Each structure stands twice: as structure tokens, then as C-alpha cells.
Structure 1
Amino acid sequence: MSTQTRLNDLLGFALLAFLALAPLPLGGNRPFFWVAGAAFLGVMGLVYGLALAAGGRALRYPLTRIPEVAGLAAVLIIYLVLQLLPVASLVGLSTRVLGEGAAVSSPTISLAPGPTALMLIQVGGYAMLFFLVAQVAVNPHRGRHLLRALFWVTVAYAVYGLVSLTQLGDTLLGLEKWAYPGSATGTFVNRNSFATFLAFGVAIGAAIAMELAVPQAEDRKRARAWLGEFVLVSVGIVFLVAALLATQSRMGAAAAAFGTMVVVVGGLGRSRLTLAHWLAAVLITLALVAGLVVLFGAGLLERLGSVESSADVRLQLYQQVARMIAAEPWFGYGGGSFATVFPLFHQLPVSPDLVWDMAHSTYLALWAELGIVAGSLPLLIIAALVLRLLPSLAGEPARRTPVLAAIGVVVVAAVHSTVDFSLEIQANAQLLLAVLAIATAATAGPRPRTESR
């Protein structure tokens, strides 16, 4: 085993440990954890780079392989830096009239430099995470194991969420909840954010199950191993769905359904199962879901009756956020500034009894904080990665499985982000990027022998 192979194995274990622990402290949704996570990843990247340089080794997956993605990410980071510089007067934004005629002066484009600096740190951490995971996962064997390990991480959090809800007095890390009593939240504060994390796990599990639906060997010993893993993965998915239903998150359940459907449809073309097998699988799945709904979905079914009233409230909020965007469509108010600026636009009929510190739509939040152009960069980055992945759906399982998983989690994120802020929770964003990095590296194409370590 070469030195670089051992180094990449060690990096893989470190990244897995980081991703497994990231959701533990409230989903990582506190500024301290944003900074700590980015700092840890930065140090990890520095040590990795120095180790490669000392051994005279090249990067396994240089960013030159994804120039459009790297370029868009660089522009996003540069714009966040620009928002922090005293250049507002140069673009005519030294004084702005917001909301009901309130005049606000600032030397910077950002009206909330502190939150913008935190967002810059967070985005830098995300970029480093993607970069490091790609170095590890460009080895198909290592990438395969990392994807499966991440699936079991989500299952572990699902089990904890169910145990915490039913056996530990419905607590949050042993403490009394201050939000969403009666709903499974796991280690997250918000049930919808936890639901997105679980839905990611369901999509990943569905992709692995689709791979296992295509037997890779004829001998009996391997067939038993295949069947055993298929059963284990199926059990894991059952726990994930049970916990997802227990969150009572309506859009979380819908996003999981959409993501899983895309994964299954995408994998159908490569499956060797007969129509009878698929009909049996569908019937068994429907029976299991029905049983889980009876056991864990009563609260979710009850909340479905309030969809219309909830939609009315959200629509009123979105209309006011849209006016906020229209008042400064090109430069935005600064990354992370929504909670600071929205009160200047907040008015009836949106309830004044609640603190609206989130736009409850990641798309609207990005456009409000960064402007329509820069705020679309994260969406373009994800789209560029997905476009790179699509051709590999016709490839061998080693590459197709992570691609299906990545497309599934992107669909989950895209659907849920329309009406909530789950992707603004650090643990969710990190899991999404890790799966995308695994899939992107898996589709790298033929590599020299020295790069396969």
C-alpha cells in the first residue's frame, strides 16, 4: 500500500467522522459550529496539501476537472468578500431607502457585515469539504464505502430520533424541547430540517437498493451476501421512513417521495428484475408504508388538513420577501442579512407575533441577501454538477449508484427548499455536498494508474 493510499484512507476516515458528528450539535445550526467546522476542514485541507507536497504527489482530483463549477464557486466567494468591503458608494448604495421609507446608510454593500462574514466562512468550509471528499472518492472502492457509511449515519440519527421521541420523554439531546413538541426532531431543533436530513438518507438508501437489485455474481456465496445487504438496507430505509413520518413534516415527506421516485425511475433501466418482481416489491413497499403511517404518521395526517391555511400564511410572507428583493434586486442586502433587514419590510397581514428570521424559502433568501445574479450562483453550481452526472446513469454500478444518490438528494433539496430553509442548516448542506462530491469523483472517467490510489 502506497503512502498516498494510506493518506487518502486516513482522510476518508476523518471526513466520515466529521460528517457523522456534524448533525449532533443542533444540526450544526449555530455560528460557533459554522466557524469550528470551517476551521477544522481548513486545517484538514492544509495538512493534506502539505503531506502531498512532502511526498511529491499530485492531487487525485484537481479542480481543473470541473472548471465551470470551480469558477462559479470562486465568483460566489469573491462576491461575499466584495459585500464586506467599503465600496457601497462606488455602486450608489451608501444610502438606501427600505420598507416604509426608512433610510439606511452603510459603507459596505452588506447591511449586516457580521452575518455576511459568517456566511463567507461557511461557504469556504463547504468548498473545502467538497474538494476533500472528491480526493477520497475518486477511488471507486473508497467512494462506495463512504456513500454506504453516510447512509448508515442517517439511519443512526433516525433511530435516535425515534428513541428520543418515544423513550426519552421527547427531549432534545436530553434537554426539554423549546420547539415542536410531539414531533421527532432528533438532534435538530426544527422538525423540517430533520426531515430533510432523513429524506436524504432515504434517497441514498434507494440508490443502494437499486444497485442491489442488479445481481453482480452468479455464485451462491456472493448471492447470499447481496441478499443480506439488500435486507439490511431495506431495514435501514424502514427506520428512516418511520422517523420521517414522526417528524410530521408535510413537505419533508413530499420531498422524500419525489427524490425516491426519481432514484427508482432512474435505476429501472438497469435492473434485471421481472415485472412480477417489481409488482411484488411495490405491494410490499405500500404495505410497509401503510403500516408505518398507522404507527408513526397520525400527526402528519392530521397536519395535512391545515395545508391550505399554512399555504396562505407562507404566500403572504413570500409576497413581502419579493418586495424586499425588488427594492434591491442586483446587489442584495448582504449574505446572512435576512433577519436584520426583513423587519423593515414586515407588515400585516404577516403575523407580528412571530420572529421571521428566515425567508422559509432558500431561493428567496439567496436572492434577497445576494441579489438575483449572485444569489443564483449556488443554484447554478448544483445544476452544473448534476449535468455532469447525468451521462453516467448508463454506466456501471460503481458509478451509477452514487450518481442516482446524488440526483435523489438534489431533488429532495430542490423541492423542500421552495418552502423551507432546511438547506440553510449546516449539517444538511454538508451531507448534500458530500454525496455530490462522491458522485462527481465517481464520474471522473479513466485515470492514470498512479491516480487510482
Structure 2
Amino acid sequence: MNLFGKRERGTGVFQHKPPAGKLNPGKQNRRDRSTTGVVVDASPDECYSGTSPWEAMKAGFSSQDMTFTVFVAVLVLAPLPLGSFRPWSGALAATLLGLIATAWALVTLRAPETPGVSARVLALPLALYGAALIWGLVQILPLAPEGWDHPIWAQAEAALGPLPRRISMAPAAGRDALAQLLADGLAFLLAVQMGRSPRRAARLVEALALASGAIALYGLVVYFSGSETIFWLEKWAYRGDLTAVLVNRNHYATLAGLGLLCSVSASLARWEQRGGRECLRGLLGGKDRLTAGLLASGGLTALALPFTHSRAGMAVAVLGLCLLLVLSQQRNWKRLAILLGLTCGAALIAVLEMDERLTELGADVPQRMRVWQLSWELLAERPWLGQGLGAFPDAFQAIRPGSITQIWTQAHNSWLELMVELGAPAACSLFLAAGWAWRRCLVAAVRRHRNRDLPALGAAAGLLVGAHALVDFSPQIPAVAYVLAAMMGVGVAQSWSSRMGSVVE
């Protein structure tokens, strides 16, 4: 028995045995007789059920459902305290994720029939991610071998006397960054384990979609009212831009793009599952409130995006949406052509609305490119050891020329910044772990004949945030990172069909 399932003696197979009396006579349970370590759900391979979240709530919660509900609540509420990008809110969200992970471990120990994915299946990404975390820990420990310590400690020692030498130049920042990376990984693992149940995977995506619509509605009301506030706080940056509950317009654009993907994916899945005519009857008759809410959330989020005035945010949202449509509708070319046409038309209208902003494209590009050049120089100084996780602000300040008057705390390229901080080997280990999850989603979305929606959603989300990370630092905002991790997590969880006897790589 372990955290992820119950091993059938002598076979190495994890099986799902639902509690007595819980069988649906129309839906036969199946054992996964392969050696993949993937525990299948008792229901057929359908990611979106016909019941609403409210109907599921009325039916009563199991301990798994209660833990899952708390997890979803953390994901939904994380954007509200300024994206959890403050010490108190970031620490609170990370602590809650740790408690949820502990609770889920206890739940699966008491109920080994809980659907999940074995650690053996996730061994490669876990090892890669863990290696980067371990190196980040080594950087901040006062155990640096001779020649590995950062030069700043020799300078400090000359002024203050003997000091413990470290690889990192900013150990305190490293502890915070390490905790954040650990919380991001926990969010992904929880989504993988909980999302192996098609019902829970669907509920999570629908909750993210509805929450995105609510945030967009708040942002639109504040924007058109002329108020320059975030809740009760006066905005100190990006005045005149729609930022909703976040401070930075680019970060909200990324979060809105992820929410739009959730809305579109969930709406299309319900349309295909229930049938077009049945969906239309439910919408027109006012009986299908969930689909109506998903469509309204998608519309509000799409409406809010142009008013962020984020050029890159708009571009990557369209890019991610196009990939989602291509992957999820690849066998329905007529519908794909219509949806892509609508997407391109909406994007063109948004570009026309942003025309004045587009003319300002050259204003900050030279300075940003200069920052990237200096970041490459920092990487060249310590390509293997790194400056220290979380140490970019201090490292950049040490070499910032007088021509750059603004204080840059991020490189505005998360890929490059991680290499500067961790060093190239550890950063590439982290990138490969994320690449494994993205490839898992992409391959499943291409190969699966049914229920490819969630793997397609995970692949689209990864592309959206990964592309935006080339010119900004949205993944470093905890709320954005948690939502991305959850979306890719359920995509990975649903990348294996419960009807397959083995996992095909």
C-alpha cells in the first residue's frame, strides 16, 4: 500500500475497487491489468459528466471530495490577494497546499481504491524537478566547497569578519523561492492525483472557468466605472489598464488567457458530450445553467482581455486558444474552421482597439533587451553554479549600469532568469520536468480518439504561459503558477485512457 494506490499482490498492478453499493449498473468497473501503475476511475472514460457541481454537492461528499473541494477553493481564491504575490498571501497559499497534500495522502492511505497515478509513472519528472529543488537547497546551505562560494561572501568577510560561505548570494530570497517552487510542484501533483477521476477533473476546469468569469466581471465593472482601485487599494501602477484583482496588466492577461482556455474547453466538452441539440434546448429553456455560466464566463473573460492593453498577453492567449481548438477539434474540420475564424476575427477587433498601444511598441524594448544582455553576462559569470535561487534582483543590481535608471527585480524572461539563478544544468532539469508534462498532454491530445479535451487544455495552457514567459515573468506569480500547474496536472492525469490495457508511449 502506498500514497498512490494499492498494489495487487504478485502483479505490480494498481487497481480500483469501488466501495460496495456504489456501482452503477450501467457502467461496468474495469481493472487495469497492465503494469503501468495508472489507477483507472470506475466510470467510463468520460471527462465531463452531465450533472452540475451543485447536484454533486447535494449527493453528499466523501473525504476525497472534501479534500478536492478545498484544493479547488485554494486555486480559485489564490488570485484575489493580488495574485498571492505578497509574503503573507504567498505563505498562506503554500501552507494550505501543503496541508491539502498531507490530507490527500492520509485519504489515499485509508481508501487505497482512490483513483490516482503511481509514483513509478511519474518517476522521471519527479526526479528532474527534485534535482532542481535539491540544488536550490544546496545553494543556500553554508556548506559551499572551496571555490564554489559566491565572490560576494569574500567581500562581506573582509568587512565583517569570518562568515559561512554559500553558493547563493541571497540565501533568504532563496528560501522563499524554494518554498514557492515546492508549492508549484505540489499543486501539479495534487491535480494529477485528483484529476485521474474524470468527474473531479471536469469539476476543477469548470470551477476555474467560472472563477475567471467572476474576476473578469469585477475588472470590467471597475474599469468602466473609472475607478483606479483594486478592491479598497488605490492603484499605484498600470493606471488606465484593466488589471482586475492583480497589479500588473500582463499578469492578469495571462491569468485571463488561462481562464478563457478553461471556459472554451469545458463548453466544447459539454457540447460534444450532451449533443448540440440537447445543449441548445437546455440553454434556451434555462435548464442548463452550468453551460450557460461557462459561456458567459468565456465571453466576459474574452471581453476583458483587450482592455488590459497587454500586447504579449493578447498574442499568447490567441496562440493558446488556436492550439486548443486544433487539438480538441482535429477530427471535426468544419467546426474547427468556424471556431478558428471566430477567434481570428475577435483577435483582429482587439488589435484595432489596441492600435494606440501597438504604436508604443518601441518604447521599452531597447531597455528590456539591454536587461537581457546583462542577464546573459550574469549567466556567463557562473554558468554551472548560478547566482542563487531568488538572487536575480541582487545580482542584477550589482552590475546595473547608470544608463538603466529603473530598478529591475525580474529579468522579464523567466527562462533566462532561472538559468541565471540556478545555473544552466539545474535550470534545464526544471525545464525538462515541465517539458515532460507538456509533451505528455500534447501526445495524448493528438493520439486519443475520445476525451482529448483535457490533454489539449494542458498543452494549450503550457504553450500560453511558456511563450509569455519569454518576455515577462507571469509564471513567477503564485496564482498564475497554481492555475497553470492544475491545468497541466489534469491534462497529464487524463492523458491515459481508462479503457486502455496499457500506457502507450
TM (normalized to structure 2)? 0.79
Give the distance between the partners of 2:343 and 2:293, measured in 1 at CA: 15
- Residue 85 of structure 1 deviates from its aligned partner by 1.4
SS at match of 1:181: coil
Correspondent of 1:411 among 457, 463, 468: 463
Report matched runs for 1:13-162 at 5 Å. Answer: 13-55=69-111, 60-90=116-146, 92-96=147-151, 103=155, 107-162=165-220
Maintained 8 Å contact 1:259/1:412 = yes
1:161-203, CA deviations, whole angstroms, 9 ceiling, x for partnerless residues? 1112222612112211010000011111111111110111122
**1:11 and 2:67 correspond:** yes
Residue 392 (structure 2) aligns with: 338
More helix by share: 1
Greater Cα offset, 357-366 or 381-390: 381-390
Residue 250 (structure 1) aligns with: 311
Give the distance between the partners of 1:210 and 1:55, measured in 2 at CA: 33
Maintained 8 Å contact 2:375/2:416 = yes
What is the percent sequence identity of the aligned residues? 26
Distance 1:233 1:59, change over 3 A: closer
**1:327 and 2:381 correspond:** yes
Residue 264 (structure 1) aligns with: 325
Correspondent of 2:419 among 361, 364, 367: 367
**1:224 and 2:278 correspond:** no
Maintained 8 Å contact 1:242/1:292 = no
- Residue 48 of structure 1 deviates from its aligned partner by 2.7
SS at match of 1:68: helix
Maintained 8 Å contact 1:29/1:425 = yes
- Residue 140 of structure 1 deviates from its aligned partner by 0.8
Greater Cα offset, 52-61 or 5-14: 52-61
TM (normalized to structure 1)? 0.87
Distance 1:215 1:34, change over 3 A: closer
Give the distance between the partners of 1:288 and 1:55, measured in 2 at CA: 48
SS at match of 2:151: strand
Give the distance between the partners of 2:124 and 2:279, measured in 1 at CA: 41
**1:208 and 2:208 correspond:** no
Maintained 8 Å contact 2:209/2:263 = yes
Correspondent of 2:296 among 199, 219, 235: 235
Paired residue type of 2:181:
V
1:308-355, CA deviations, whole angstroms, 9 ceiling, x for partnerless residues? 232212111111111111111111111111111111111143x22x11
Distance 1:232 1:396, change over 3 A: farther
Gaps of 5+ in 1: none
- Residue 230 of structure 1 deviates from its aligned partner by 6.0
Correspondent of 1:198 among 256, 271, 276: 256
Give the distance between the partners of 2:412 and 2:107, measured in 1 at CA: 43
SS at match of 2:105: helix
1:276-305, CA deviations, whole angstroms, 9 ceiling, x for partnerless residues? x666555555555566667xx3xx321211
Give the distance between the partners of 2:338 and 2:500, measured in 1 at CA: 44
Distance 1:161 1:136, change over 3 A: same
Correspondent of 1:438 among 490, 497, 500: 490
1:356-407, CA deviations, whole angstroms, 9 ceiling, x for partnerless residues? 1111110111011100111122321111012222332232543x11111111
SS at match of 1:307: coil
SS at match of 2:145: helix
Give the distance between the partners of 1:428 and 1:76, measured in 2 at CA: 21
Residue 26 (structure 2) aligns with: none
Gaps of 5+ in 2: 1-17, 23-60, 158-163
Distance 1:339 1:403, change over 3 A: same
> Number of aligned pairs?
434
SS at match of 1:359: coil
SS at match of 1:94: coil
Correspondent of 1:395 among 443, 448, 472: 448
Correspondent of 1:188 among 246, 259, 264: 246
Maintained 8 Å contact 1:116/1:334 = yes
